[in-house]
Structure 1
């Protein structure tokens, strides 16, 4: 995906608090928060928001991430603040989900809903492929690379354990660009 696709999805007129609207919000929040992965997002609480910053421990690596919240992410948070019921920011997990199995089942269920809804929204803007939560993360990395941000900076921003992980993200999504350039030989 490209930045233009993110913007097009962002501009789709959706009914507030519909399933599509909520899933788009999760996707966009991930994109605007350095590609925060779905599981980390599910566990965010209001205590992770401090003075316009998102501060959390990445579940996969144990790294502390601390970032300024961009205006689109702040707008999403403002919406969810109006319905804040439990400790979590997003209504993915609740007090009902206590055991590791219940939590895992709920994460899989909502992630599938998000991926399905995002694929449908992608079709509305003319995309013909399945969009998953990883696209927000990959698109963040790709947009940063295209903006000439160093791989080491992108790696740190995303909480990767090393630059090879970041490079793998970027390589897999830049192949289309390289294929187009290569066809220029003909």
Structure 2
């Protein structure tokens, strides 16, 4: 697409000023966009006449517009004509078309393209934005808007939760830029604040206490699944509960992580296989989804069960004849499903297993981990898993 600057005498208004416009041509199609700059004298290229009022300021503004056009055309080469036209109008005028969808609409549209687990986070962001400013558009959002939005989320939301919501809004802006829906990007110099949180791991002694504590049949299932998560390299609950029989072959579990879509290959040590056989499912590798509508439904029960398992009876006292009562001491203040994952990594670090090997076990990417060394990487994972489990089993009675 070609363009040039136009100042037509025929457009001179009653005050004697000519609007400065950009004319775009693509094959036989042509459209004009006003820059909002008015000139007393016709332009020569992009330079205003020396006797033009505020000539330097007008020239500087026009040059910025042209730089923006060049960058936009370069980044959106091959884009469909109407979308390119709309994007250029927005870039030059700074105004979204009246028919433009709201930011909330755009977040929901973007969320629809994501996997279910990721989609829910974007939909939460859409709800937060709608509560704050349901009429917000790509153009109306600036740094001041973002600051007000953060304050609106209130003190009840953690710093990292606010950061998560802002990151989702930022992703939608990046999507809007890539697709020519906006040229406004308020995150360019906006720092999203986060804070470090304590790693939710437990000690080897606490892990052994959980593994060995006496529980009724109902709670024992939640504890056993917790330990299975640990034995399987801290596997994500969404992945664990949706495994099929075909994912388990020749003593290994092979699947694609729901979070990343990448293939994953981990060993199934005897400790894990014993639990899998105990809780074998009919339609799934494990039984929960045979009777639960989704893994999320079971996960909520699992999460609550683990909170209860985090305490155990340590002393019994009698308060009067025949009236025994129990005093409880927590093993873990807040035991969660993800504690198994963090603890696996923590014990690996304690045993001085290389960080890149721990990353492989957890399914994270690492700079020197490539498909050319799959066999080598698999052995690294297998050796690490066995070393970690043997360490945990070391003091077992």
When the two structures are superposed, what TM-score results if normalisation uses the length of structure 2? 0.36
Are 1:148 and 2:360 matched, yes or no?
no
Partner residue in 2 for 1:116: 304
CA distance in 2, matches of 1:89, 1:128: 29
Aligned residue for 1:22, secondary structure, equals helix
Partner residue in 2 for 1:13: 214
2:265 to 48, 61, 66: 66
- C-alpha spacing 1:95/1:108, structure 2 compared with 1 (3 Å): closer
Tell me by how many angstroms 1:156 deviates. Answer: 1.3
Partner residue in 2 for 1:127: 331
Instruction: Could you tell me which runs of 5 or more consecutive residues in structure 1 were left unpaired when the two chains were aligned.
Output: 98-102, 164-186
Are 1:85 and 2:289 matched, yes or no?
no
Tell me by how many angstroms 1:128 deviates. Answer: 4.7
- C-alpha spacing 1:95/1:132, structure 2 compared with 1 (3 Å): closer
RMSD after superposition: 2.0
CA distance in 1, matches of 2:292, 2:241: 14
Q: 8 Å contact 2:253–2:265 — kept in the other structure?
A: yes
Q: 8 Å contact 2:282–2:290 — kept in the other structure?
A: no
Partner residue in 1 for 2:250: 51
Aligned residue for 1:19, secondary structure, equals helix
1:26-82 CA-partner distances (Å, limit 9, x unpaired): 11110000000100011111111111111111111122221221121011012123x
Partner residue in 1 for 2:229: 30
CA distance in 1, matches of 2:244, 2:358: 25
Higher helix content, 1 or 2: 1
Higher strand content, 1 or 2: 2
- C-alpha spacing 1:96/1:121, structure 2 compared with 1 (3 Å): closer
CA distance in 1, matches of 2:239, 2:366: 19
Q: 8 Å contact 1:61–1:160 — kept in the other structure?
A: no
Aligned residue for 2:254, secondary structure, equals strand
Aligned residue for 1:119, secondary structure, equals helix
Runs of 4 or more above 4 Å deviation: none
Are 1:39 and 2:238 matched, yes or no?
yes
Greater RCO, 1 or 2 (C-alpha within 8 Å, sep 6+): 1
Tell me by how many angstroms 1:95 deviates. Answer: 7.6
Partner residue in 1 for 2:163: none
